[in-house]
Every structure is written in C-alpha cells, then in structure tokens.
Amino acid sequence: MYHSMLKIRSFENRVYRLFLQGAIPGTVHLYAGQEAVAVGVCAALQENDCIVSTHRGHGHYIAKGGDMNRLMAELYGRRDGCCKGKGSSMHIGDFSKGMLPALAIVGANIPIGAGIALSFKMRATDQVVAAFFGEGAVNHGMWHEGANLAAVWDLPLILVCENNLYAASTHVSKSFKVPRISDRSTAYGMEGVTVDGNDVLAVHHAALKAVEEARGGEGPTLVECLTYRHGGHSRGDPATYRPKDEVQKWLSKDPIPRFKSKLIEEGVLTSERAQEIERRTAIEVDEAVTFAEASPWPLPSSALEDTYPTSPIQADEPQESGQRQLTIGQAIREALREEMQRDDRVFLIGEDIGVKGGFGGPFGVTLGLSEEFGSERIRDTPISESAIVGTAIGASVMGMKPIAEVQYGDFIFCAMDQVVNQAAKLRYMSGGQVKVPIVLRIPTGATGRGAQHAQSTEAFFLHTPELKLVTPSTPYDAKGLMKAAIRADDGPILFFEHKLLYGSKGYRSEKAALQVVGPVPDGDYLLPFGKARIRREGTDITIVAKLLMVYKALAAAEELSREGIEVEVIDPRTIAPLDTETLLTSVKKTGRLIVVEEDTKTNGWGAEVLARVAEEAIDYLDSPMKRISALDVPIPAAPPLEQYVIPSEERIVRAVREIA
C-alpha cells in the first residue's frame, strides 16, 4: 500500500513538471494528496471487481493495477497509451483491470456504476463496483438517480466520496447544509460513514466493511473520505481561493509521510527499506516517461478506428408477407419476447413496464411480459431517466443486453448526458476497450398531449456520431428491426416508435380509412439497417417520409395519382445510417424531391436529406427541393392547433402540385 501511494505521488509530481514543459497536451487533473483514498479502497477489492472513475483518475488507475507506462503514454497522446491516445488524462482506464475509462462529466459514473453492479447481481457473481467521485458530484441529479436506484435494488456498489473541500473553487460550505456528506445516506436507506481520507488504513477498513456488505447482498454504502488535493482543480488553476493556513494545515496531514512514519514506528518498515521503495518508484516513473516518449504518435487515419460499423446486422430481407396481421405494438412485443427467450442476457428496464396487473407502459407494449419473465428481467424503475439509461449503459459494457424505455420521447432529454456523452462516446474514447450494445425505446410524435409530450426528437441525435436511429413505420419493419437492434453487438441504438402507430386504432388518413396493421411473417427474421423501402413506385416526384408521415405521404400520393401525378414514396426505416443510394436513384429518376417530417423545419432531419441530394445529385433536379414540416413552434395541445402545426395530406398535395 505504501508503494502504491508513493507511485501515485511520484507519477503526479512528474506529470506536473511535464505539463508545464509542454510535453503533455490538453489538461490534467492531478490526484496528489488523495492517494490514501484510491489505495485504501482498491486494496479491499478483488482483481475481478470494477471501479468507475472521474476526471481525477490517475490515482484510481494506478491503485487498481493499471500499467503506469501506458498511462503516461496516454497523457502524452501516444499510440501505446491505455486508450490509444483517444482518452487523455480525463478518460484513462484499463478495462482488463476492471477500470472503465474515466468519465469527465461530474456524477455521470454513478448510474453507470449501478449498471455494472446490476449485471453482477443478475448473474449472481460476488463482484462489486467502487465508484469514485468528488463531493461536488453529490449535488448532481445523476448522482441522486444512480445512488437511489442502487439502494432500491440493493446493488453491490460502494460510493466513494473524495471530499477535498472544493468542487473546482466552490467550498463545500456553500454546497451542503448537512455537516457530513455521509449524512445523505439516510435519505436513501443505505449505510453511510465518514473517515479520515488521509489515513489509508482508516479508508481501507471502511472499504473492507462496505465491500463485505455489498458482496453479501446488503446493498450500497456511502464512504466519505475527508482529504485534500495539493494543487488546484486542474493545472490551469492556481488555487488562490484557498486560505494559506488551511493549505498548511492539510499539508501537515500528508497521507504518505504520515503512513511511512506509522509503518516505521510499528516495525513494519525500516528507513532503509523505505529508501529502497522510493528509489524503485523513481525508476518506475522514469521508465514510464521513457516509454511514453518512445511511443509513436497515432496515425491520423486511426481517428476513424474504434467506431461502430454502419450496420450492426447484415441480413437478407425476407418477403413482407404472411397471414398474421399485427399492430406495431404487437410486433414489438413479439420481438421482445422472442429475443428474451433466445438470450437470457436480454432484459427490459424502464418506468411502469413490468407492474404485474399493470398496463405495460403507457402504450401497452410490454403488457404481459412481467408475468412471463419476472421482475428480474422486466425491471420497473423510479422516475429517473438518467438512471435508466446510465444503468443500461453499465450493464451493457459488462455483456448484458438491456432494452431501456423512456415513456415519452420528450423525456429522453432528462438523460441527454448519458445518451450523448456516455453511450455514444465510451467505445471511441476508450480506444475500443468497451462496447455499449443498448437499445433505447423512444415513443415519439404528436398525439394531442401538448408541447412536452408530443415532440419528434429524432433530429437532436443525428448530430451525434455513433448513434444509430431506427424509425419503423410498419409492424413488419418494427419486428425485424427490433430483433436486429437487440442482437447487435455494437450500439447504442435509438428505436423511435410513433405513438399513433402502436395500435389498430392509431392513425387514420384524413381522406381514407388507413389503419396501421400489417402482415408479419411467422418465425425469426432480421432486417438490415441502412436499407430504405420504396413504399410506392412513381415517376414524377420523390417523397421521403418516416414514421407517421409515410402514411400521410401515401394518402397524398393516391390523390395525386388521380390527377396523373405519380409519386414515389421512400421510407428510410433508419435515418442513421441513411440509405443514400436508394434516395439518389429515385431522385435521378423523378427529378423532384420533397421531404415530409413531423419535426420542426429549422435544422430538421429533412435539411440533412436535402443537403445530401444537393451534394451528389443536384444536376438531376428539375425544380427546387421542398420540405414539408411542422411549423417552428412548440406542439400545441388543442386538436385544431395541433392539426394546423403538423404536416397534413393537403399540404403535401399542394407542395407536389407546385413543383410537379
């Protein structure tokens, strides 16, 4: 333990000098002064236990047994770094040592740590997870959601608060009304303890107890470690906000000389042996610098590596036929049931999805699954979208196959960090160490419920690399695409389901009785991503539409056909990846293009479609392209107002007549 603490301090002291010399790019958040916490906790863990860290993670990495050479190379941004130079100081980790790459968003690692712990509990292993965070994280909503879920489910998670008194420059007295952060544990029904974080043995004893209870199924413990960082928040922070007498007081409690003196006093360590350890440590740090400086820069082209493939499943599409007529809701439920029967790693997580005798979520899609698979695999959660998505992420990186549901697409914004910063980036910034094979079910579209329950949220996520966006409009597509999404080894996949297409009493055309039921073949089948479907052949104009708008476009096409205008309707089925080939082939044939989208016009999905056509096929166009979209206002609740804002069949017909 003394050697580990000394390695961390020596490493950080060298990093400080190297950063000032310009050898280390970016920024660093040094761990010097807090060594007793990382070492005390990690010494209580088994090799196959896991830790999740935050931006001040060098000490956690070394204490968990990470390779110091590869750590230094990562800080240098070199190819042989633990994350191939893609993580840097704030995202270091070694998954082979049980350390998930560190997360730089404060509090984000708590729901993910809960998810890793959930995977251990579901598999009935005796593993535990230790989640390290500063005291500032305890005020974050993600911390609350993750801690509460871990307590409710008695997950084997140890919450390690490194209370160094300052969240960046904000003193703890300005952030908490309670005397101790561990006092907050009472509200969650978990154990809480405060220890001297500069006494490695005190930390170790508290960690041993917490680990023992977690392994025994007694749930999480909040361990608050009172400690002090020797420098500023980051290397750009002079820390002049800290009183000099306070700094001197804490420096006198430095955990390393304090522990060294104790070991010598008790006859465990001699001065000669201590000097030998110090010399060895200095050599190890020198070797780490030599290794880092000898490591080459990554090839520029490697920036395109460690990403997800375009399509997670390549499949031969079966014929869309069969005697059975299902709704989209029934088709999705059948896909979930079959995949859960096929693979015991698959489980569902979300609000109101599994209450026995309940309604199977707000749209009844999961109705009856809890009776068949039980509450362990149909997991009802508190109202905590960040915890739902974060827990799914944590379970997925450990090999589980979670399907997370948010009740309404509008609610996904509550988990925006977990989707955009964590799920979408973990594989890349870890240098390919981890994958996140999660499926997020997101009901979308306007249904008369008003501005906060009616948005079409798909376009928000098109801007985030690595996310796949699925938009089925038929029961056949819904089942085949859902099964493909679940079986994908890569992810994450956002599965958008229009609320008006779930049941047989869903969308009716404004001019014709058009109900969304359709043939779904018996047996197993998968559909590929990135392959559009031509819903109607035509020669005069191309309309691209998704989800509910497919049916409005088809109804408009039938009316226009009676006027001699033949419309080709393309349903992309997935908008990331997008089947550009089918789109361009159609536009080159018809010479005209309209995109119909339920989302607002400005910066919508349709703008991206038109941009691609403009780049690759503008010479084939015989008239300007058009977008038919919702008006640029929040979705109103009153039916006449909603109908005015959302694209109608009549608007589509008028737009076609203008350019046909």
Dump the DSSP string for 475-511: HHHHHHHHHHHHH-SS--EEEEEEGGGSSTTS---SS
Angle at 95 between CA 278 and CA 44, to 5 degrees: 55
Give catalytic status of residue 453 as yes or no.
Answer: yes
Residue 346 contacts residue 340 (beta carbons within 8 Å) = yes
Question: In 3D, which of 165, 168, 186, 187 has the Cα closest to residue 176?
Answer: 165
- Alpha carbon distances (Å) from 400 to 301, 404, 439, 490, 514: 31, 12, 11, 12, 39
Dump the DSSP string for 50-94: EEE--SS-HHHHHHTT--HHHHHHHHHT-TTSTTTTSS-GGG--B
- Please state the φ and ψ torsions of residue 401, each to the nearest 5 degrees: -125, 75
Distance CA 13, CA 11 (A): 6
Residue 18 contacts residue 24 (beta carbons within 8 Å) = yes
Distance CA 92, CA 75 (A): 9
Element (H, E) at 270: none
Residue 122 contacts residue 348 (beta carbons within 8 Å) = no
Residue 74 contacts residue 85 (beta carbons within 8 Å) = yes
Residue 89 contacts residue 28 (beta carbons within 8 Å) = yes
The 3-state DSSP composition of the chain as helix, strand, coil percent (nearest 5) reads 45, 15, 40
Which residues face 533 on adjacent strands?
Answer: 571
Which of 29, 55, 453, 498 is labelled catalytic? 453
Residue 475 contacts residue 484 (beta carbons within 8 Å) = no
Dump the DSSP string for 378-415: EEE--S-HHHHHHHHHHHHHTT-EEEEE-SSGGGGGGG
The residues assigned a catalytic role are 453
